[in-house]
Structure 1
């Protein structure tokens, strides 16, 4: 006599371990794909923000027949930095009404009688605001989403001025490009190398400090000329593309390749940690990085000074930044957290991804715009071919170079 007994089916321990292992392998395979998809979405969002900025600049030009001024605003009012912005407002301030930020623009363009904390201010902040580094003026602390790239995680803390990830193109030279030959009072700043006429020769990009540019000035063609570029916000991790090496007057008479010796040989994308920190007086005659968290790339969206709001097409994207000293001229690279390159905005409104390997000409050429009589400088000016190859040519508005390459959009 036989009896039917039901058997309960189940996993053995070995089978369970095999299933867990398979799941683990699948997760391991899928996780990079998920991360890559997320970065692709962030990169697309970053590009869309740039397109919106390009549209805002074109609409501004349609309204005013010129592009917004970088390093503009109200003239200096003595020693009181709260009564004017000293002609240091960035080009981004003027784009606000065209970036769906009319409310913020209204706060800035009218007197404001309140501090950041809500307390009454007497006298009120003037129309167009105080100096652009003020941490008590709420509009400067307001983060505009369009001005940030989602791939950059750096965020302001402790009531810092809000950040920006997009810079105006200042061309392929930087001699005295912080003020464009105009002082804080709105007057020509002198003759010789410091004067308006001399500094114009080196203002080969779309944006020139304290001057307006019209589309008709871009004789190389809007589709062949860079208007803006990406920049990562400076962090304190010594990433070369975000950290600024202060070099005093050496920044003028050294070729771009000379500064590579200050990169970490084991981490070429970073400044050597043995490089001195602090102010220029503590640099011992060599470049140093500025340890002040406020003195880094993109850390003040409202500030039109070069380290915050402009870049040059001298070294290729994601290279390194050299400046004379804080708040003054320097050679700043385009940069991003995207793999292999950075977005740029052409003057016709197209957004293009430029790789780190773009042809950048003679990096041994001293084209920073200063000649000490040793033949290492150059004359600059309109109609002269950039020494920095395709990258330099794209950054100049009137160099008369012929662009044959097709840029990827």
Structure 2
């Protein structure tokens, strides 16, 4: 028998066990950020690939039709019979966005067949259908029975294509999902560096605009896309590789984020004349959120990116006035124009799709010129006069298609 003191120990002491646990904890603490960063990098690449596929679809669409899809296009009842923002089942009232026409070119033939053909869809209780089929190209996407958002009409939510969540239109880094949104999108058409009577389009369901509106649209319709106008690649005089076709946007998750829920104003002036008009309404203690006392878009279903098929600026458009990941500021609620920049959940910047199909990652700190300058518009003076170069630096210049500005920086 060996003495008790010379017996071999078969267990760890408490001190040794605590040391091992501490080492494991340190290693986990060191590795976890790296794992999270790797996951975000994968999500960011997936987001970029989605955007790239949309770029290919855009070029295939142009090859087929010799123009780009129209932002705020589609079908209509007799011109002027019903304003485009009024809900109706008879036509979409020229309210469709750029993404709808891309569906058959983006491996989404199934949903395109539903949209492009009349079809019966359950309207209410199981087993009940409409007396007549939904029209080809669907009903309106707006839920407003008047300009100011009262009289909510939910019939359009029964039209399944407008409610469908299409995976290729979603950035994996964006957590938004489901109601109160319809089908969400994280990719928005670029309307350029101006918005006067431009971002939301004409107020009535007709392509024939009043002469003054035509002139206003010509002065401020400077982007790759222009409301209710068929843009061709030949119209992009600055070059497809120098012009933003679309930008990434975040979708709202109900937290009053300044990038996903717009500050709502009444009146056109501030939306064009003062790009920073809404900045004083941001919560000083939480600078990514609106002050609790200010008015944001009232309806729960009017968040950024909430309706993939809608051409309304709030849902599927962006402009290059304020830098990426800055506040949203609009007039006349979700049907209005305003400051609607690009945004993302990625750290430090946003993805943009160039006209040539290339996807670039743009930093939040990109040169954005003087944000105190009014946007270019018909009655603008100085730097805001029609035909002027963008007052919003490199960011603004990338958003315009024909301002003849030289892009001398590598993106």
TM-score normalised according to structure 1 size: 0.90
* Counterpart check, 1:347 vs 2:348: no
| Contact residue 304 and residue 314 of structure 2 kept, 8 A | yes
Q: Deviations over 1:335-377 (max 9, x none)?
A: 00000110000000010000110000111111163748xx588
Q: 1:107 is matched with which residue?
A: 114
Root-mean-square deviation (Å): 2.1
* Counterpart check, 1:380 vs 2:389: no
| Contact residue 251 and residue 322 of structure 1 kept, 8 A | no
* Counterpart check, 1:244 vs 2:299: no
* Counterpart check, 1:405 vs 2:406: no
Q: Of 181, 204, 222, which aligns to 1:183? A: 204
Q: Of 223, 226, 246, which aligns to 1:205? A: 223
Offset of 1:198 from its aligned partner? 2.3
* Counterpart check, 1:272 vs 2:291: yes
Q: Deviations over 1:15-36 (max 9, x none)?
A: 1111111111111111111111
In structure 1, C-alpha distance between the alignment counterparts of 2:193 and 2:48, rounded to whole Å: 24
Q: 1:69 is matched with which residue?
A: 70
Offset of 1:9 from its aligned partner? 2.2
| Contact residue 376 and residue 386 of structure 2 kept, 8 A | no
Q: 2:165 is matched with which residue?
A: 143
Point out 4+ residue stretches in structure 1 off by more than 6 angstroms. Answer: 1-5
Instruction: Flag structure 2 segments of 5+ consecutive residues without an equivalent.
Output: 143-155
In structure 1, C-alpha distance between the alignment counterparts of 2:193 and 2:2, rounded to whole Å: 95
In structure 2, C-alpha distance between the alignment counterparts of 1:125 and 1:356, rounded to whole Å: 43
* Counterpart check, 1:48 vs 2:49: yes
SS at match of 1:140: helix
In structure 2, C-alpha distance between the alignment counterparts of 1:254 and 1:320, rounded to whole Å: 16
Q: 1:129 is matched with which residue?
A: 138
Q: Of 168, 184, 191, which aligns to 2:189? A: 168
| Contact residue 252 and residue 368 of structure 1 kept, 8 A | no
Offset of 1:118 from its aligned partner? 6.0
Q: 2:214 is matched with which residue?
A: 196
In structure 2, C-alpha distance between the alignment counterparts of 1:118 and 1:168, rounded to whole Å: 38
| Contact residue 252 and residue 261 of structure 2 kept, 8 A | yes
In structure 1, C-alpha distance between the alignment counterparts of 2:403 and 2:127, rounded to whole Å: 50
Offset of 1:243 from its aligned partner? 1.5
Q: 1:261 is matched with which residue?
A: 280
In structure 2, C-alpha distance between the alignment counterparts of 1:274 and 1:180, rounded to whole Å: 30
Q: Of 74, 77, 95, which aligns to 1:88? A: 95
Offset of 1:253 from its aligned partner? 5.2
Q: 1:279 is matched with which residue?
A: none
Query: Is the deviation greater in 43-52 or in 28-37?
Result: 28-37
| Contact residue 321 and residue 333 of structure 1 kept, 8 A | yes
Count of matched residue positions in the alignment of Structure 1 and Structure 2: 387
SS at match of 1:87: coil
Offset of 1:115 from its aligned partner? 2.4
Q: 1:7 is matched with which residue?
A: 8
SS at match of 1:267: coil
Describe the shift of the 1:118–1:176 C-alpha distance in structure 2 as closer, same or farther (beyond 3 A).
farther
Instruction: Flag structure 1 segments of 5+ consecutive residues without an equivalent.
Output: 276-287
TM-score normalised according to structure 2 size: 0.89
SS at match of 2:288: strand
Q: Deviations over 1:271-306 (max 9, x none)?
A: 12222xxxxxxxxxxxx2113221121000011011
Q: 2:40 is matched with which residue?
A: 39
In structure 2, C-alpha distance between the alignment counterparts of 1:268 and 1:137, rounded to whole Å: 38
